[in-house]
Amino acid sequence: WGEEGHYTVCKIAQARLSNTAAEAVKELLPKSAENDLASMCSWPDNVRKQFPWSSSLHFANTPDLTCNYQNERDCMDARTGAKGRCVVGAITNYTNQLLHYGSNTESTYNLTESLLFLSHFMGDIHQPLHCGFLSDKGGNTIIVQWFENKQNLHQVWDNSIIESEVERFYNSELGEFIDAIQTNIMKVWGNQVEEWENCISNDIACPITYASESNEDACKWAYKDAAEGSVLEDDYFRTRFPIINLRLAQGGIRLAATLNRIFDKHQYVM
Ligand code: ADE
Ligand code: ZN
Ligand code: ZN
């Protein structure tokens, strides 16, 4: 996602934290953030150049037209071939680092960075084209026309659909957009929230599930009727923005659930 997408996911998540998790997040955030996680959730995008090793951690790709994420095959840095270096592996890694919070091995890690990376990657893994196809780099090489503008399909999903929605339906106020998603979480998706929160086999996070869902949505919604040179306007916008709203909601809910499980870890055997 772009700035607004990450901000939305982290706003939704922070409002759902348990007391213990909220306390830990507050302690880990730099003072300058004034206890606003959302204000720092794009930090990993800002340090991508400084930390070249982090670049491949923002996504995972399947072979072309393969709408079926397979972690063994698909989670790697395509440039170096290093296994596990994708958004799925990153979520597992930063979740494990944060489990050291409050223990005497805590100082081995910079847990502020772990929190910001986990929060950012939990957003990215829910963006369908962050689990798209390898050869088009998740839509980055597919040039389309979005209303009057030429851009790539990945940008349409990271930014443009959200921006059009906020402008058209929420008076250009991102806060109103976030409020609307939070209302939907209560009124429309209320009976599914628990299912989104839980992982099979009681894992703390289940990124393979999230990547599989995104990959399916990429095939079904993002790539569909959006070949190179397509003109994407009202029809595409109307049918895709509800998918984006759902993925932002799921990202926020799952980030909160994961942070709650991490910091309420006295329930688990360490
Ligand atoms: N950003 C850069 N490369 C990407 C890829 N292959 N998939 C998704 N997002 C990306
Ligand atoms: Zn992106
Ligand atoms: Zn990212």
- pLDDT tens digit string along 256-265? 999 999 999 8
Question: What value does the mean pLDDT take over residues 94-110?
Answer: 92
Task: Provide φ and ψ at 17, rounded to 5°.
Answer: -75, 145
Secondary structure in 3-state letters for 213-268 = HHHHHHHHHHCCCCCCCCEECHHHHHHHHHHHHHHHHHHHHHHHHHHHHHHCHHHC
8-state DSSP, 67: -
Atom 6 of ligand 1, nearest CA residue:
137
For ligand 1, whether the C-beta of 138 sits within 6 Å is yes
Summarize pLDDT for 14-73 with one digit per residue, the tens.
999 999 999 999 999 999 999 999 999 999 999 999 999 999 999 999 999 999 999 999
Q: What's the 79 CA to ligand 1 centre distance in angstroms?
A: 12
- What's the confidence (pLDDT) of residue 107? 80
In a 13 Å sphere around the CA of 12, the CA atoms on its Cβ side amount to 35
Minimum-distance ligand 1 atom for the alpha carbon of 130:
8
Question: What value does the mean pLDDT take over residues 74-99?
Answer: 97
Summarize pLDDT for 171-218 with one digit per residue, the tens.
999 999 999 999 999 999 999 999 999 999 899 999 999 999 999 999
Residue with tokens 């592996």: 89
Please choose from 127, 130, 135 the residue to mutate so as to test ligand 1's pocket, defined by most ligand atoms within 8 A of CB: 130
- 3-267 fold: P1 Nuclease (1.10.575)
Q: Which residues contact 2 (CB under 8 A, 6 or more apart)?
A: 42, 155, 158, 159, 162
Question: What value does the mean pLDDT take over residues 222-236?
Answer: 98
Minimum-distance ligand 1 atom for the alpha carbon of 78:
6
More confident residue, 233 or 107: 233
Is the model's pLDDT at 268 over the cut of 60? no
C-alpha to C-alpha distance for 53 and 124, rounded to whole angstroms: 17
Pair 22, 265: CB distance under 8 Å: no
CA of 77, nearest ligand number: 1
Q: Which residues contact 46 (CB under 8 A, 6 or more apart)?
A: none
- What's the confidence (pLDDT) of residue 106? 80
Summarize pLDDT for 132-176 with one digit per residue, the tens.
999 999 999 999 999 999 999 999 999 999 999 999 999 999 999
Q: How confident is the model at residue 266 (pLDDT cuts 50, 70, 90)?
A: low
Pair 125, 87: CB distance under 8 Å: yes
- What's the confidence (pLDDT) of residue 105? 83
Can you give the pTM of this predicted structure? Answer: 0.97
